Structure 1
């Protein structure tokens, strides 16, 4: 075990990834400002639907967030340059984690992966070469790293891809109807818009998605298929970048290849002046047990969280319970309608409540289909009415459709959601059972 985990290997893949990762996270921070994502998501809305339990992050929102993201972008540049790396990476990890937990209307698995990688990278010796830290302090310079560093990164990537593949084994993906739905909104694309509407393209996208996610890590691990895997990876992720426009994730995914190619190839292509480590030392640190224990717990959670929806009642595609933090990417398109009523507890008479004046457009779309956000809205309405001196019950009548199927009742309109407790690991009984034909083919 010691030889397997703590044998020293060359660190060129790690230091190159650090430079690329730093550039990408800096781009993410500055890009959020210049594309208007920050303004729409965290500045203009009077409040956001944060992860439940992190309400205190509401105090950070508003115009202050522009400065916040500028500082975060600067830390990203420092990571890229390897300047005060440990401090800069930890600072970015803390700040991005807060951003991630601030809102759910723009939830994205890629944001979650970026958060995990920030914390993992903060623990790794990624500034021992090709960095300002190593240039300023030559004693820090080291061409090697323990093998466990590489294994941790590869295992994290494998978890992401494997769960993403397994999640696609459900009827609406297997019959290519979900791919057809995804492509329908891209008819207007120049040159490729009409091609994306072809039936064979939908089938190709559906099964390429399954096979790529399932096989890309094994292909990259095996030397004989590594180049083929890399070419497929570049094409796959560039296609996703062009078609789905999902920010830095495709390029970060391409950069994962740095963990698989040999140090000799990476040195020849990128850092010809780097000293290659060719030793065979085994260095067991004093904190070995702490290290093994911490990563064992971390990966146990990573393996367990995507499975938790099986312990909830009903279908995760309907209830959304257990959907987040599970690498369930592009699996469903949901839309819904929501009518809210409040009743003053003094007389019990229900009255219509225009909740839309409280929310932005994207928030309105989220609250109509996500039960935890519905619950949070109920708590918000109750608090607003309490400030007016009214103690109210909040009732919600929601209808939801999945993958452009029929609309079905989603919530029990007779239950006061403001009086309900939120249980993150327990099914909410006010969510009505899923319809029997939830997975109706899109073409029917």
Structure 2
């Protein structure tokens, strides 16, 4: 075990990844401002749907978020340069975690992965070469790192890809109808729009997605297939970047290849002046047991969280319970309609409530299909009415369709959601059972 985890190896892959990762997270922060994502998500809406239990993060919302993201971007640049690395990486990790937890309307798996990688990178010796920290303090310079650093990063990536592949093994993906649905919104693309509507393209996308996610890490691990795996990875992720426009995620995924190529190849291509480590020392730290314990617990959670939806009643595609933090990427398209009723408890008379005035455009799309966001909206409405001196019950009548199937009733309209408790690991009974034909395709055009 000591030889597997604590043998010293060359650190060129790590220091190169730190530089690329710093550039990407800086781009994420500044890009959020320039593209209007920050304005639409965290500035314009009067409040956000945060992860339940993190209501205190509401205080960060508003115009000051522009300064917040500028500071975060500067920390990203510092990470890239390896300047005050540990402080900069921890600061970015804290700030990005807050951004991630304060809103769910723009949920994206790469935001979650970025949060995990920020915290992992914060505690890795990624500034021991090719950094300003080493220029300032040459005593930090070290060409080596313990092997566990490499294993942790590869295992994290492997978990992401494997769960993403397994999640695609369901009917709407296997019959390529989900791929067709994803491509339908890309008809307007210049040059490739018509090509993306071809049936053979849909089948290719569907099964390439399954096989790529399942096999890319083994391909990169085996020396004989490493170059092939890298070429496939570059093509696959550039295709995703162009077609799906999912931010930095494809480029971060390409950068993971740095952990698989030999130090000699990386030195030749990127850092010809770097001294390669050639020793075979095994240095066991005093904190060995603490280190093993922390990462054991961490990876148990990483393996368990994506499985939790199997312990909920009903299908996750219908209920959404257990969907987040599970690497379920681009698996379904949901739309819905929601009517909210409010009843004063003194007279019990129900009246339709215009909830759209409380929400931004992005939030209005989320609240009609996500039960936890419906529940949070009910709590918000109850609080607003209580400030007016009214004690009210809040009822929600939602209808949902999955992957362009038929619309079906989704919530029990007779349950006061404002009086319900939210259970993170328990099914909410006010979500109606999924109809047997809920994913049966509609005849609507």
Report the TM-score, using the length of structure 1 for normalisation: 0.99
**Counterparts of 1:200 and 1:4 in 2: how far apart (Å)?**
45
Find the counterpart in structure 2 of residue 165 from structure 1: 165
What is the correspondence of 1:27-106 to structure 2 with a 5 Å cutoff?
Answer: 27-106=27-106
Q: Which consecutive unaligned segments of at least 5 residues does structure 2 have?
A: none
Find the counterpart in structure 1 of residue 406 from structure 2: 406
SS at match of 1:343: strand
**Counterparts of 2:442 and 2:205 in 1: how far apart (Å)?**
16
Find the counterpart in structure 1 of residue 385 from structure 2: 385
**Counterparts of 1:333 and 1:16 in 2: how far apart (Å)?**
37
**Counterparts of 1:270 and 1:364 in 2: how far apart (Å)?**
47
Is residue 395–residue 413 contact of structure 1 (8 Å, CA) maintained in 2? yes
Q: Which runs of 4+ in 1 moved over 4 A?
A: 441-444
1:191-225, CA deviations, whole angstroms, 9 ceiling, x for partnerless residues?
00000000000000000000000000000000000
Is residue 406–residue 439 contact of structure 2 (8 Å, CA) maintained in 1? no
CA RMSD of aligned residues (A): 0.8
**Counterparts of 2:242 and 2:438 in 1: how far apart (Å)?**
31
Find the counterpart in structure 1 of residue 230 from structure 2: 230
Is residue 403–residue 442 contact of structure 1 (8 Å, CA) maintained in 2? no
Is residue 336–residue 407 contact of structure 1 (8 Å, CA) maintained in 2? yes
Judging changes above 3 Å, is the alpha-carbon distance between structure 1 residues 442 and 300 closer, same or farther for their aligned structure 2 residues? farther
**Counterparts of 2:238 and 2:260 in 1: how far apart (Å)?**
19
**Counterparts of 1:380 and 1:433 in 2: how far apart (Å)?**
26
Q: CA deviation at 1:438?
A: 2.6
Is residue 345–residue 393 contact of structure 1 (8 Å, CA) maintained in 2? yes
Q: CA deviation at 1:361?
A: 1.0
SS at match of 2:352: strand
Q: CA deviation at 1:437?
A: 1.4
**Counterparts of 1:281 and 1:435 in 2: how far apart (Å)?**
61
SS at match of 2:393: strand
Q: CA deviation at 1:439?
A: 3.0
SS at match of 1:431: coil
The answer to whether 1:271 aligns with 2:274 is no
Find the counterpart in structure 1 of residue 373 from structure 2: 373
**Counterparts of 1:435 and 1:200 in 2: how far apart (Å)?**
31
**Counterparts of 2:59 and 2:110 in 1: how far apart (Å)?**
25
**Counterparts of 1:229 and 1:438 in 2: how far apart (Å)?**
38
Q: Which consecutive unaligned segments of at least 5 residues does structure 1 have?
A: none
The answer to whether 1:428 aligns with 2:436 is no
Is residue 177–residue 443 contact of structure 1 (8 Å, CA) maintained in 2? no
Find the counterpart in structure 2 of residue 142 from structure 1: 142
Is residue 175–residue 441 contact of structure 1 (8 Å, CA) maintained in 2? no
Is residue 172–residue 441 contact of structure 1 (8 Å, CA) maintained in 2? no
**Counterparts of 2:351 and 2:175 in 1: how far apart (Å)?**
44
Find the counterpart in structure 2 of residue 126 from structure 1: 126
SS at match of 1:164: helix
**Counterparts of 2:441 and 2:357 in 1: how far apart (Å)?**
36
